[in-house]
């Protein structure tokens, strides 16, 4: 029997992680099944992605009214989407390239996948008030269309440029399928 990640049942192999990622110096790199980073045209830095998402979807709540414990000032750069991204990547360890993974993260916020741990939530230790409850409420306020738009914006923001087909690419047209 081959030594592939996953398990086999009734002749079907289920992969545990189809495309794992590697986090190196704050950059996310897709990893091949044998553990080597896959070459991409650019490396992905999650730091400023939240700003891109808010530019694309300005109706999303910022949830940035929390006070920093150290400075005692509003932490205006500490936003809902920034915390959602950090939760997805660093708390849950999910890859940022796939819609399904982002949907699972939103399911966490919607209470579908079980309770979220307040002690491990991003910024729980740096803000006076743990933002988890407010973030859950803000995500629950979004309608399905807004959640779908958020997921698509996140996938697009983390997609390596070489993996995003251009509109002029003939291989991306439905007539070639």
| pLDDT (tens digit per residue) in 97-149 | 999 999 999 999 999 998 999 999 999 999 999 999 999 999 999 999 999 99
Q: Is the pLDDT of residue 162 over 50?
A: yes
Closest by CA to 1, choosing from 121, 9, 49, 16, is 9
> pTM above the 0.75 mark?
no
Cβ atoms of 90 and 97 within 8 Å: the answer is: no
Burial class (CB in 10 A: 0-12, 13-18, 19+), 59: exposed
Angle between helices 132-141 and 99-109 (to 10 degrees): 110
pLDDT of residue 66: 98
Residues β-bridged to residue 31: 37
Instruction: Please tell me the distance from the alpha carbon of residue 30 to that of residue 163, in angstroms, as a whole number.
Output: 11
């Amino acid at each position: 029997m081959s030594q592939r990640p996953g398990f086999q049942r009734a002749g079907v192999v289920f992969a545990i992680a189809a495309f794992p990622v590697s986090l190196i110096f704050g950059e996310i790199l897709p990893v091949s099944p044998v553990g080597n980073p896959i070459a991409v045209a650019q490396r992905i830095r999650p730091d400023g992605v939240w700003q891109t998402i808010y530019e694309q979807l300005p109706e999303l709540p910022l949830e940035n009214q929390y006070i920093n414990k150290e400075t005692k000032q509003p932490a205006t750069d500490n936003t809902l989407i920034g915390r959602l991204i950090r939760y997805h990547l660093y708390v849950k360890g999910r890859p940022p390239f796939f819609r399904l993974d982002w949907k699972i993260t939103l399911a966490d916020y919607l209470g579908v996948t079980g309770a979220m741990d307040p002690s491990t939530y991003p910024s729980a230790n740096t803000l006076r008030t743990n933002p988890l409850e407010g973030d859950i409420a803000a995500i629950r306020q979004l309608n399905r269309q807004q959640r779908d738009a958020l997921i698509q914006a996140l996938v697009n923001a983390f997609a390596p440029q070489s993996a995003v087909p251009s509109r002029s690419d003939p291989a991306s047209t439905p007539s070639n399928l």
